[in-house]
Amino acid sequence: MMTGDVGLFGPDSITWKLHSEPILMLGGLRSLYLQALHPRAVAGVAQNSNYRTDMWGRLARTSDYVGTVVYGSTAEAEQAGARLRRLHSRLTAVDPRTGERFRLDDPDLLRWVHIAEVESFLTTARRAGVPLTPAEVDAYYTEQLRAAELVGLDPATVPATAAEVADYYAALRPELGLTRDGAEAAAFLTVPPVPRSWGSRALRLGLTLGPPRWAYLGLASTALGLLPPWARKMYGAPGWPTTDLAAALSARGLRGLLAGILAVLPADYRVSPAHQAALARAGLG
């Protein structure tokens, strides 16, 4: 019997089942590559953020937000959503193609970011071998309407099944493409800078040229390979079925590696702090 506030979803939700998988970090990277193909969405980021100088901080803040929405109490999730809505309501950007100024809380942009994120989480998890039935996939999309509402979207306007998401992508594809902002964002994602604060010059050089860099490049190439063929082609990459197969095998291997690492760690390290707090509130320990 649950004894406390388990937030927007709870331990019986597909959301908790899916987000307990460490492989979702790869899904988050895939979603950023996908989001960068929307000219206005990526222009809004380029003109209103410091991701070029604080990419890792931005990624950490995004991860914290997702963790709060998924595992936070109802009040914590609603407060996080309110902060994000206030931030977006103050920001505008200029479309580099038309010169038109637009708001970052434009529902069309918010909807794109939401769908690119949740579809990336689902697709990455399934192709990495996480067992989800078609009914569970649709249930995840439907559960995530609560997350969409937090950022200011009317849930009735958000695709809520796999079929609706496929139709949404098909309708939006003529508006997508690789702009200069998108190419620069993808380059930062693929070859991110090592912050000066990360130790000595020798350590930073080692991180830049050594095994950690090659390991990260492997992650980035897998994330790109997991994109839909039409999205890979926009980046100039092949849309071949063999690329899909190679990316799926790589994702499965990474999931197995993460599982092996977690298996030898103490129990407290196998679950994120946000998830641990949610379990404690639920009386599940």
Question: Which tokens is 77 given?
Answer: 């999730």
84 compared with 195, residue with greater pLDDT: 84
Residue appearing with tokens 């992650």: 219
Structure tokens at 195: 């912050």
Element (H, E) at 145: helix 145-150
Residue 285: both structure tokens together: 């320990």
Q: Which residue has the tokens 């092949």?
A: 238
pLDDT per residue as tens digits for the range 246-264:
999 999 999 999 999 988 8
Q: Could you give phi then psi for residue 11, rounded to 5 degrees? A: -65, -20
Contacts of 12 (CB under 8 A, 6+ apart): none
Distance CA(109)–CA(271), nearest Å, equals 32
Reading the block at residue 56, the tokens are: 């890792």
Residue count (the chain): 285
Q: How far apart are alpha carbons 224 and 237 in whole angstroms? A: 9
d(CA 182, CA 246): 25
Neighbours of 22 (CB within 10 A): 17
Mapping DSSP to helix (H, G, I), strand (E, B) and coil, where does residue 93 land?
strand
**23-78 confidence digits (pLDDT tens):** 999 999 999 999 999 999 999 999 998 877 777 778 889 999 999 999 999 999 99
Q: How confident is the model at residue 214 (pLDDT cuts 50, 70, 90)?
A: low
Per-residue tokens: 172: 């939006």
Task: Output helix, strand, coil percentages for the chain, rounded to the nearest 5.
Answer: 65, 0, 30
Facing residues of 93 across strands?
A: 102
- pTM listed for this prediction: 0.91
pLDDT in tens, 122-175: 999 999 999 999 999 999 999 999 999 999 999 999 999 999 999 999 999 999
What one-character DSSP code corresponds to residue 227? Answer: S
The amino acid sitting at 210 is: G
Question: For residue 117, what pLDDT band results from cuts at 50, 70 and 90?
Answer: very high
User: 151 with 114: CB under 8 angstroms?
Assistant: yes
Q: What does the pLDDT read at residue 4?
A: 76
Task: Give how far Cα 189 sits from Cα of 58, 61, 278, Å.
Answer: 12, 16, 31
